[in-house]
Amino acid sequence: MLSIFREYDIRGIFEKELSENVVKKIGFYLGEIIKKYGDYVAIGYDARVHSPILFKWLTSGFNAAEVKVLNMGMVPTPVNYFSNYSEFNIQDKKITPNASIMITGSHNPPEYNGFKITIDKKPFFGKDIYQLGEKVISSNLDIKDNENYFNIDAKEKYISYMVENFSHLKGFDKKIVADCGNGVAGIVVEPIFKELGFDYKGLYCNPDGTFPNHHPDPSVEKNLKDIKEALKEADIGFAYDGDADRIAVLTKKYNIKGDILAIIFAKSMKNPVVVGEVKCSQVMYDEINKIGKAIMYKTGHSNLKVKMKEVGADLAAEVSGHIFFADRYFGYDDAIYATLRVIELIKNGVDLDKEIDSLPKVYSTPEIKINTTDEKKFEIIKKLKEELKNPPNDFPKIKDIIDIDGVRVIFDDGWALVRASNTTPVLVTRFEAKDKEKAEFYQKKILEILDKIGY
């Protein structure tokens, strides 16, 4: 059972792992922590069919801990984060939640669900989640049903905020297509687009936790087939994952990854400070360092949020489409907000295709995943570091090794990355070089060492 308590969140299969008893205890012990900051937790959930059931179980746990539950109903994850910065009228008092829980399985298969946790406006992750897991698993508490809560309308507050802050986009004359993948993005994307008067076509904007049309993961190319077809009749496309904290931006020419988006956003800022993950292209770091400062850090939305605050960054990005704005916003990953910032750039005359055409040309592989076990994955990374101290004679010349998150090996003409996933039993690899042949050569040489280590 401890495997559901992961680096960035809690995630598992409904009923089999996220059972009533376990979820109630998660609510209770989280309540004990939240009480140090105040009495209120805001809870929202995604489109999965079992999310409302998890809400009831979690609410019983919080009530047992004497923490009051604010129910925002079905919302995207960014709306859940937004609630931490909003005031609500509860029993004739103005209340800002002391914490929020998002019930979501994100882009996992339909039988999965989980919890993304924010306490005192900070992500609750890493050792805190692991310690929570140990308490829950060792506890014999029997928590009674108590589903009392107060309703709040965080969704309408969020929509109003976006419409007000992007009212200057009214009159945008390009045609938009938005693929919500039957996740929850549509319940805010459509009202915002309508209020701003956009000419748009929505694909699969009705929430349906069975995901009947395609899986809601825009980082997987096959899931973009329908939006690419619709783009033939539009100018710009946006696709979202199941809980709308990740975005794919598509033109007729490009599927723009998060690290390349970060370059384009940074160019519109004065002296930008940008945090990127270890999987980001070297092009991103080099281009942003010409106009500001780029900082490489660990993969993971929680890690990047913490690092952004630490260094006072304006922006952070993951290749997968998590985009975090502290510039004019609150510093969390929000695919809907990122959508409006892209539209703003285009309205201001930025040509996305030309911006990408002007960048140095490199060949980057997608993420290549190697199956292993949770027990072995971090040990393999340790052994790889040792092997690279004395690599084989035919191994390419190593200029530097960055070990902030796994191993990023810098070569004369590119780099190779091997890191242990914090959420699944896999090694994640990525390779980049001045051309495809060189990237494949780096890949071949790294895989030879991994084969020798064994995985």
Q: Model confidence over 251-308: pLDDT tens digits?
A: 999 999 999 999 999 999 999 999 999 999 999 999 999 999 999 999 999 999 999 9
What token pair was written down for 64?
């047992």
Q: Which of 335, 357, 379 delimits the end of a domain? A: 357
309-321: b or e for each residue (b if 16 or more CB lie within 10 Å)? eeeebbbbbbbbb
Same structural domain for residues 374 and 307? no
Report which DSSP code applies to 145: P
Residue 176 identity (one-letter amino acid): I
Same structural domain for residues 54 and 199? no
Residue 322 known to be catalytic = yes
Residue 219 known to be catalytic = no
Same structural domain for residues 181 and 323? yes
Please give the tally of structural domains in the chain. Answer: 3
Same structural domain for residues 351 and 392? no
Rg, the chain, Cα only:
22
Same structural domain for residues 130 and 45? yes
**CA 5-79-250 angle, 5° bins:** 95
Which residue in 106, 320, 364, 421 is the catalytic one? 106
Average pLDDT over every residue of 406-424: 94
Structural domain includes residue 159: no
Structural domain includes residue 431: yes
Same structural domain for residues 282 and 188? yes
- CATH number of domain containing 288: 3.40.120.10
Residue 377 identity (one-letter amino acid): K
Q: Which of 357, 382, 415 delimits the end of a domain? A: 357
Same structural domain for residues 171 and 305? yes
Averaged pLDDT of the chain: 96
| Burial class, 324, CB count within 10 angstroms (exposed 0-12 / middle 13-18 / buried 19+) | buried
3-state DSSP call for residue 141? coil
- CATH number of domain containing 408: 3.30.310.50
Q: Identify any residues that bridge with 410 across adjacent strands, giving them in sequence order.
A: 400, 415
Structural domain includes residue 158: no
Q: Identify any residues that bridge with 100 across adjacent strands, giving them in sequence order.
A: 42, 118
Same structural domain for residues 199 and 334? yes
CB contact set of 155 (below 8 Å; sequence gap of 6+): 72, 73, 75, 79, 187, 188
Same structural domain for residues 345 and 368? no
**CA 172-177-180 angle, 5° bins:** 125
Which residue in 11, 50, 107, 419 is the catalytic one? 11
Which residue in 48, 50, 215, 322 is the catalytic one? 322
The answer to whether residue 1 scores a pLDDT higher than 80 is no
pLDDT digits (tens, 9 = 90+) for 152-203: 999 999 999 999 999 999 999 999 999 999 999 999 999 999 999 999 999 9
Same structural domain for residues 204 and 137? no
Instruction: Residue 88: give the domain boundaries.
Output: 2-153
pTM to 2 decimals? 0.95
Same structural domain for residues 15 and 94? yes
Residue 160 known to be catalytic = no
